[in-house]
Chains A and B, each alone.
Chain A
């Protein structure tokens, strides 16, 4: 690239909107978040320094552990159900001879446009006892299945995983589909000529090619799942019976904006950030090893 002869102030002027808003609305609150996590607050104004008390309390706080357990369960549950199904749909669609391919893609993708709040609204009615669509349909197929099945009372995690499945399956599918289109077709064909069955061809030819994207989708899903908030918040109107739907971000929200302790909320935020950072580092390590 040739050296630009313009005064070196020009690029900084183009970056000015970012620099100003980033400093005010990200860097400053980020540093405040650190300060706050060593304070107890009553609303935004009155603060009391408490040292490490927030973090010490966090480790004995039963609600924090419930939230962490729920969030982890949801993350693992959705990973195990969502991703194989997303990949499966992508494999089904990845055939040039398939008619109506773009229509199917459109249909599967459509739910990911719906905001979590609105998904929560729709599914809060779908999961209703007796009148809810899900119970009525399952009951009509399997008469032993009770119409009163308490999705939103006793099977909260399962309900959340199902709603998230509907929402995200098509979104992840788009990534897999893009990755599959980069798998050289000749390679798959020549493996077939060499006598490899469909399963062998998938494991030895297709899978290694889509691994980088798969790793990225896994990371994106974990990071997203760990920040789950709106879906249970709207679906259950809060944390649900016995806090069965309490997630980390919901606990942060309740602490900061219902109880009014922005300090303890910030401490929860830092623990969440630490978890997300560790997940990212582990994923990077694994994917780098895979490339070698």
Chain B
């Protein structure tokens, strides 16, 4: 400790100490000379050695190196700016990507002990589903019998109209078991959460709010507890507020309602209705495979107890994070890898540039070494210079990464799960510091290595012009360019595959007309629209009002829009037909208003569309259904399905529906999924209080938007209107991730290609400069300029070929790894890989063309005179 203070004292009074030391040593020398000695070493050097004892010389050297580096950088501002720019691209992009990866995949979950949380889902092997939800009875069995799990909670998310006082809004709502919030380890910031005991009580049902909702609607007032909120038809009492971040399991959810009061409803008791997400907390000491065995055992026993239920289903357990992040992790890893490749390209590129620069300074280094600088001292200086540039680049890059992240978040990238905050933390700082250090070392290593390799006297002897670069240096420079080219091939192939996938996906015909279509979801106040008739009347009346607006051609509505996620599905039962329990097919179901097929441009292939008289049991008519072409073909092959009767959903409770027509296939679940079985029922037969209206317009649908929304509000002031979008916007947002992956990797690839071009240019022109005397000599001896040019081009081509070969192999491997995110293109598409190879080779040739021309125009007399 004392030593440290003495050291510090020395640092503060350094000049005085140095002066004293100097005086002392001069005195020593004088005395020694009086006594007849004269062979003193360099006083300066001796003094420096003495100063070393205090352990501060590194600061002096660092300051020297920094000052020298800065001066050098300022003398060549264009070069420095270029290097800093490249550094900032590499470091900024990587920091942005890492920040996102860190926020989504690495940061601890916003729950206490989040690493012990697992989600249990049912698997349906015959439909290749691993993430099917769980029925309430099965959840209860798991909850009461499991020993390996500390606790289990279940929830499902829906949305409903929420009224506070006079204002109505449409909110995401989660119905949660009383055990859910405690399983997640959430402590409320105000009030309490659901109690297990009063789960079955008859008190006014309770609601727990999210912090965001509480701040927005109750201005963070602490006496929110006890306030009343109407959700749909029911009134709830606020009992607590959850901290921000609690809705990680259910993104966007603002209100949490208890699940247990619904326990008596038929769907809650049905073992066939799977709608719950089950979160479990593993008991400490238990392993996940033990828990899995236990839950599967309970499920298997239930399947035997209740035959026909869940036949063939299994259990799958995954961490809560994996469940929420889902397939995003794959995209994130692809983009992260691409980003890292780009960083490597940046390093290779700058390494090449710096080597070229340092070659021009060989004689400077040799001179300094001759004057007594040690090798390590010079290497340190070279590294300090690259570190200086990397730090400047890194600071700019950090600023740029903020921009990149915010523009990504704004672009609505679903790559980042909702309710995951992307922010900087200490991990990010360490990462960018490491990136700066690593890039500066990697880029500085090239010049430093050449310094180490060649002997000093040799370098001093060589004049700048005659010198051929050390063979080690040339090999290193070559391999830098080779790896740069290889990485460019990898990035370019990946980007081409993703871009082609995106364009193929965009050109998929969705099965309906998407232009001039405005869509908006409407949720009716359940209390005032309890009967089917009132709902039918509402939509009939609204349709007539809307059709009167200028620019509106036709109006209809559907329960779930195509390509908007959230298809409702049920198992198909066919009258007088027995499916093998493992092979019962499922189909999506929709309820539609009249004119839906005409308005959407979905062709009716056989049979008829719905009529006003299709009101089911109300007017004693049979209940009707339309099926799509694929379902008709696969289930009835060449027979006509018209007149056949089917059930969708639980066979014991659902009515028989008569098939009256077949309509065209629609990509209901998304453009990337093949159309599968879908069915449609008329709204007049079975209704619901939330529908999405579709408005066919003659003008730009946006121009109708305001007047349409106003009209709906006037028509029913208590209706909640949400998700107002044109169909084209919905379509675009459904392929946003694809577009995103394609353009980001595309941008990386473009950057890599231009860096490879610059790098090759620098390297080839460097080698031409080195070989100027040799080329001059050859030309003096009669070599044709054309031959010289071809020689230089061949050198470029040689570098390119190795790089392209290595890169193509790596790209094949990468393409194979990302084949699941490709669409309409195979991982080894020869046309794409061929094009990439041609583009890269041409780029390299183009980059070597200029130096080749230089070489061809070398004036032999002048080249030889410099020798």
Chain B associates with chain A: no
Name A's B-contacting residues (CB within 8 A). none
